Amino acid sequence: MIKLTERQDKILQIVKQNGPITGQEIAVKLSLTRAALRPDLAILTMSGKLDARPRVGYFFNENYEVKRQAEKFLHQQVIDYKAHPIVVDKSTAVYDAIVQLFLEDVGTLYAVDSRGHLAGVVSRKDLLRATLGNKNLHELPVSVIMTRMPNIFTIRPDATLLEAAKKMIDNHIDSLPVVKEVEEQRNTYFLLGRITKTTITRAYLEIMER
């Protein structure tokens, strides 16, 4: 984004109120020569704030702000919106995982291996199914009930929120782990965060309330 000078701001206001208006007419209003204004008008048209049409003059480009906003929303990146992931070791007992889930008030836990790499995803649904199984929840490790790599849908930090939302809807899932691939190890990831439908609902509010 270019920061406008005071004179460029004044030109913008003049065109907003009087456009279409010729460069000569703007110059008169500012008590300047047409030549002195040329660089400012060039900056304002090149940046898209003003439109110029031969033999008519300069217009204020009302679409500019709208388009700039839309661009901004389309480029919102996962890395800037991700939430903190709640992590357990994959050897954690199911009972302790459930306690963790209630303490942190999240819908999904991420299980990691001894090297800190993403090993699996444990949802409320997985835990609920496990509790019905009548097994000893104090001894059953989450690694037995989790969805494991490589069957996990993930998202990269430089992906857009739009891509994340699409992935969740298309695959009927409520959240995505944000991951960075461990160098030269296929399907091995470091966990950086999580994107949920709550993240997307917040982004929706941001757009609608602009």
Q: Which residues bind a copy of itself (CB under 8 A)?
A: 20, 53, 56, 62-63, 66, 73-74, 95, 98, 101-102, 105, 107, 124-125, 127-129, 131-132, 137, 162, 165-166, 168-169, 172, 174, 196-198, 200-205, 207-209
Question: Toward a copy of itself, which CB reaches closer, 38 or 67?
Answer: 67
Cβ 20 to a copy of itself, closest distance in Å? Answer: 6
Residue 86 neighbours by CB under 8 Å, 6+ apart: 100, 101, 104, 106, 108, 109, 110
Question: Toward a copy of itself, which CB reaches closer, 161 or 189?
Answer: 161
Question: Toward a copy of itself, which CB reaches closer, 183 or 209?
Answer: 209
Angle subtended at Cα 152 by Cα 151 and Cα 157, rounded to the nearest 5 degrees: 145
Cβ 85 to a copy of itself, closest distance in Å? Answer: 18
Question: Toward a copy of itself, which CB reaches closer, 188 or 198?
Answer: 198
Report the C-alpha gap between 139 and 133 in whole angstroms.
Answer: 13
Cβ 185 to a copy of itself, closest distance in Å? Answer: 32
Q: CB-based burial of residue 88 (10 Å sphere; 0-12 exposed, 13-18 middle, 19+ buried)?
A: buried
Question: Toward a copy of itself, which CB reaches closer, 24 or 63?
Answer: 63
Cβ 94 to a copy of itself, closest distance in Å? Answer: 10
Cβ 203 to a copy of itself, closest distance in Å? Answer: 6
Phi and psi, residue 205, nearest 5°:
-60, -45
Question: Toward a copy of itself, which CB reaches closer, 108 or 154?
Answer: 108
Cβ 33 to a copy of itself, closest distance in Å? Answer: 25
